[in-house]
Structure 1
Amino acid sequence: MPFPQARTADTTQKAVSAANSFLAMLNDVQRAKVNLPLNKTTRSNWSNLPTGARFQSGATERNGLKFGVLTAAEQEAALALVRSTLSPAGYEKVINIVNGDEMLERETAPQRPASTATRFGRAEYYIAILGKPSVSDPWMIQFGGHHLAINVTVAGPANVLTPSHTGSQPTMYTFNGQTIRPLGHENDKAFALMNALSPAQQKQATLAYEVADVVSGPGHDGEVIQPEGVRASGFTTAQRNMLLDLIREWVGIINADTARAKMAEIQDHLADTYFAWSGGTTNGSRAYFRIQGPAVMIEYAPIGTGTDHIHTFYRDPTNDYGAKVIKQ
């Protein structure tokens, strides 16, 4: 499906304007720290791990500036930049993850040894701009912290979300009187799909081993794993639609026009896409799943023995970091 250039060009212009507005609010020292060159080293320096950890890239600090050193107005400008390329639902998911991590910080801080460098919470999320914001030349928006890595490559009208990480701990919390499940739809739709498969399909989908974490996460750029599970070529129309609806939870984080084009590409290759499962099949059970095809790689992994700590990952085997549209 051709890229919807006119509409996504509008998104790119909004992103450029938001980036320039944010940069204009910073002093020279801050600007130099947040606006870095776009290259292989900078774009791969991101992680799902908390502040204080050594990241998979070998770095001990994310690119950019953390929210804890920004004023309230600067934080809002940074979030406006993040929001500029995302869908409303995608942005809400991002904020729900951040708020969940703030809850984790409040719960764990009193028990944490003073000597530990580990930190959670909103203040420990970082914003970075790689390259010069442009409506034609490639650049990148990075926003992340514990359980979140949003990497949006912007190249002309193209907005590319992969690779990206979304996670949650806790998986459910109360905020402003509302019950929030940042990854609730991902969980529920996956269990619904698994239970919509026939016994023979479930047997094909089920892996013969347990999976402790995502296998294609940060630090694994360019790696290829063998597809496993049940192939969607044998799915009924209803099962295919359920699989597409599940995939859309990750693809739909980006703006609607970009997501629509990406979903069309995934649908074109759906017959060669695999669904794999490890764990119980009753919703609420601990279960890992993977969706892997020519145009998509998604993983969902409970961490530890329970279900209150989730890592998920989304890659495009053909277009991580906008490989199709830029050469870096």
Structure 2
Amino acid sequence: MAGPAEEQQQQHADFRKYLPDLSTPRFQAIAQNDAKGHSRELLEHHRPPWLYGLYVHWRKLFEEPFRGVTSDGIVRAPPSPLFPLRDEGVPAALIAAAAQHVIALLSPAQAVRTLLHIDSPEWRSWSNPEFLLSDKGVRLEELAPAQRESVLGLLEKTLSPEGYAKALAAMRINHFLGELVNAPRVMNQHSYNFVLFGTPVADRPWGFSFYGHHLCLSVFLHKGQIVISPWFTGAEPNTIDAGPWKGTRILHEEERLGLELMQSLSEGEKKTATVYREMKDPAMPKGRWNHDDQRHLCGAYRDNRVVPYEGVVVSALGPAQQALVKQILNEYLLYLPARARELKLQDCEEWFKETYFSWIGGHGEHDPFYYRIQSPVVLVEFDHHSGVFLANSEPAKFHIHTLLRTPNAGDYGFALRKQVQGVVSQEYVWEE
């Protein structure tokens, strides 16, 4: 008899039941396009109403001054900073040198597109669909091999080893999906844009954005300190079952630990944690579910989202359950180098008295679900999705979206930049 782990793996492998009909106009069109042609086809010619409406809405959100994700619309400014300047042991000089190597290989035309001001609003114009909404910087698939390796080398030196492995896995799974649906020029392991903000030196703030389908990383660095937030990581499917990368799998630990935590709650705690019983619940207010994000709230262009606290307070749970919360957060902080991750976990634990765990959906072994962990210093989301390229009309465990935000203006290193620069960026509104 198969155990829970084997059952979970089988559910993730079931995606082949939902391979789409590639003879339909949609898949015929995408097969004939590259990423830029695909975007023009969708946004300028075909214009599906839900997609074009989303695009217009996202651009309106982008025009808002940055405030940051909050629980009540007010950015917290306690007597001591939520996000203090500190040494997190990040090898600033090594990472800056890797970025300088990227710059040295850029042509003048590439440099104009790629090297932006530290306060550029384009920090915020990332997105995770396969179609390009903001085509800035350089795109890996269009680079010479040495240039592409320099960007990946910067990513490798910046992230933890396990975080870099996870990023590579997401890129390879994206490539696998492109092969499954005959769209290799739109979705492949190199269909990602890279943009650099500020001057990469060891003693001043700078950062970069790396974004594309199902993998978006916003990285801020200052001396020995790092912020990787917001980030988005997804997969459809989340496992590769054939080819040279067979066995690659991501996001299953976030799934396993979240379900284990929910199942460990008492009946009363489960009731409190459960915000909606169904994944698309009739009780949801307008906008709580949408075609693109489905249940998650803090994805692309949602920099100023007000997300009220919901669910159970983590400090009221038992030691074993609090340990599970820490394990979940450790998975979500995996991109950070070890010492930075350790310090961020300590920050999170200090706020367990104001950390909420909430849930949507069932909590049986086969049930799809959504969960969120939210506090003043971190917000993470997990969501099982219905098919975008695969044909499942209901949420399935092989299509997963995950993301992390740093509330109260922590995203993009804004709260740290305010302290370093001593001035407020024009793109930033601070609530005192």
TM-score scaled by structure 1? Answer: 0.90
Q: 2:298 aligns with which of 202, 216, 225?
A: 216
Q: 1:316 aligns with which of 390, 406, 425?
A: 406
Is 301-310 or 168-177 further displaced after alignment? 168-177
User: Residues 246 and 162 from structure 1, CA distance in 2 versus in 1: closer, same or farther, beyond 3 angstroms?
Assistant: same
SS at 2:402 equivalent? strand
Tell me, yes or no, if the aligned pair for 1:51 and 1:120 is still in contact at 8 Å. Answer: no
Is 303-312 or 287-296 further displaced after alignment? 303-312
Higher-strand-fraction structure = 1
Q: 1:28 aligns with which of 108, 111, 121?
A: 108
- The residue type paired with residue 251 of structure 1 is L
Aligned partners of 1:180 and 1:285: how far apart in 2?
Answer: 23
Tell me, yes or no, if the aligned pair for 2:379 and 2:405 is still in contact at 8 Å. Answer: yes
- The residue type paired with residue 309 of structure 2 is P
**Deviations, residues 137-179 of structure 1 (Å, cap 9, x unaligned):** 2211111110111001112222101111111111111353641
Tell me, yes or no, if the aligned pair for 1:214 and 1:299 is still in contact at 8 Å. Answer: yes
**Deviations, residues 218-246 of structure 1 (Å, cap 9, x unaligned):** 11112221110111121110100001100
Tell me, yes or no, if the aligned pair for 1:46 and 1:62 is still in contact at 8 Å. Answer: no
Aligned partners of 1:40 and 1:291: how far apart in 2?
Answer: 30
Q: Which has the larger radius of gyration?
A: 2
- The residue type paired with residue 402 of structure 2 is T
Aligned partners of 2:300 and 2:197: how far apart in 1?
Answer: 18
Q: 2:269 aligns with which of 201, 208, 211?
A: 201
Tell me, yes or no, if the aligned pair for 1:48 and 1:148 is still in contact at 8 Å. Answer: yes
Is 246-255 or 119-128 further displaced after alignment? 119-128
In the alignment, which residue of structure 1 is the partner of 2:286?
Answer: none
User: Residues 154 and 177 from structure 1, CA distance in 2 versus in 1: closer, same or farther, beyond 3 angstroms?
Assistant: closer
TM-superposed CA distance for 1:293, in Å, is 0.9
Structure number with the bigger relative contact order (C-alpha 8 A, sep ≥ 6) is: 2
User: Residues 99 and 321 from structure 1, CA distance in 2 versus in 1: closer, same or farther, beyond 3 angstroms?
Assistant: same
- The residue type paired with residue 265 of structure 2 is L
Q: How does 1:30-49 map to 2 (within 5 A)?
A: 30-49=110-129
Tell me, yes or no, if the aligned pair for 1:67 and 1:124 is still in contact at 8 Å. Answer: yes
TM-superposed CA distance for 1:74, in Å, is 1.5
- The residue type paired with residue 404 of structure 2 is Y
TM-superposed CA distance for 1:4, in Å, is 5.6
Aligned partners of 1:218 and 1:2: how far apart in 2?
Answer: 26
- The residue type paired with residue 29 of structure 1 is A
In the alignment, which residue of structure 2 is the partner of 1:57?
Answer: none
Tell me, yes or no, if the aligned pair for 2:166 and 2:250 is still in contact at 8 Å. Answer: yes
Q: How does 1:1-328 map to 2 (within 5 A)?
A: 5=87, 7-8=89-90, 11-52=91-132, 60-109=133-182, 119-174=186-241, 176=244, 178-208=246-276, 210=279, 212-304=294-386, 305=394, 306-318=396-408, 319-327=410-418, 328=425
Is 32-41 or 140-149 further displaced after alignment? 32-41
TM-superposed CA distance for 1:38, in Å, is 2.5
TM-score scaled by structure 2? Answer: 0.69
Aligned residues between the structures = 313
TM-superposed CA distance for 1:26, in Å, is 2.0
Tell me, yes or no, if the aligned pair for 1:213 and 1:311 is still in contact at 8 Å. Answer: no
Structure 2 alignment gaps of length 5 or more? 1-82, 280-288, 387-393, 419-424, 426-432
Aligned partners of 1:185 and 1:176: how far apart in 2?
Answer: 23
TM-superposed CA distance for 1:133, in Å, is 0.8
Identity across the alignment (%) = 27
Aligned partners of 1:281 and 1:62: how far apart in 2?
Answer: 40
TM-superposed CA distance for 1:40, in Å, is 4.6
**Deviations, residues 195-235 of structure 1 (Å, cap 9, x unaligned):** 11111111111112635231111111122211101111211
